[in-house]
Amino acid sequence: MLLDIKNLHVSINGKEILKAFNLTVNKGEVHAIMGPNGTGKSTLAAAITGREGYEITQGEIWFNGELINDMSPDERANKGIFLSFQYPVEIPGVSMTNFMRTALNAKREFNNQPPVSASDFLKKMEEMKNLVEIHSKLTNRSVNEGFSGGEKKKNEIFQMAMLEPTMAILDETDSGLDIDALKVVAKGVNALRADDNGFVVITHYQRLLDFIVPDFVHVMYDGSIVKSGGKELALELEANGYEWIKEAVAEK
């Protein structure tokens, strides 16, 4: 079991957003989480990654057999949890190279490995840039600064490829992407899929799931998962919208 979330309740400023949320992700699996706006999908991503301000009032998040409820964001990251941000942050003045090297070496230090050599690092950068078809030089560019919407999302997948997480959460990676960029992002994710890692793909639309084919699809509504199924559930949602889910929940 890679990720095991049990009866999770999360509040922001005293308002409960996640309510008795449960999810289990095993190695080698891709889970899609769908649902209308404001049902707590991004809150889930924030809670798993340990973002400040998201208070776990009840429940447990287990990662690789360890309870991570109280771990710092960086410790969770170094243990292998990665978030592809819905809105990647621009950080003027921090170069992509410096940022990536610092992050990579932080992880290596965490795992008692020596820092990466300059030549190995640059080789890896080139390789992963090619994977997500980033053609511009990153050396002198600040993190996400002046990147187009598509470039920012490619950059997230690039970072994921560099850091090789065991658990990646993609938070609306498809939003704002044209079909070509979407294919590139999906190609990157598919290349990284392996037997020893897992993905949680948060999305509104079925479109992304044509390219990143999930093993499971979950529908979130009002802070918890209300329906789960195989990849065909996504098609059903695409055809019928979310209204029937809402009605079904209301009837209960």
Contacts with another protein, residue ranges (CB under 8 A)? 49, 51-52, 72-74, 77-78, 82-83, 85, 88-89, 91-94, 98-99, 102-103, 106-107, 110, 142-143, 159, 163
Rounded CA separation 207/196 (Å):
26
Residues 6+ apart with CB under 8 A from 94: 142, 143
Nearer to another protein, 34 or 128 (CB): 128
Radius of gyration of the chain (CA): 18
Q: How far is the CB of 110 from another protein (least distance, A)?
A: 7
Q: How far is the CB of 89 from another protein (least distance, A)?
A: 4
Nearer to another protein, 91 or 213 (CB): 91
Q: How far is the CB of 94 from another protein (least distance, A)?
A: 5
Nearer to another protein, 88 or 150 (CB): 88
Backbone angles phi, psi at 17, to 5 degrees: -105, -50
Q: How far is the CB of 20 from another protein (least distance, A)?
A: 26
Nearer to another protein, 84 or 224 (CB): 84
Strands (E), the chain: 3-12, 15-25, 30-34, 54-63, 66-67, 81-84, 91-95, 142-143, 167-171, 198-202, 216-221, 224-229
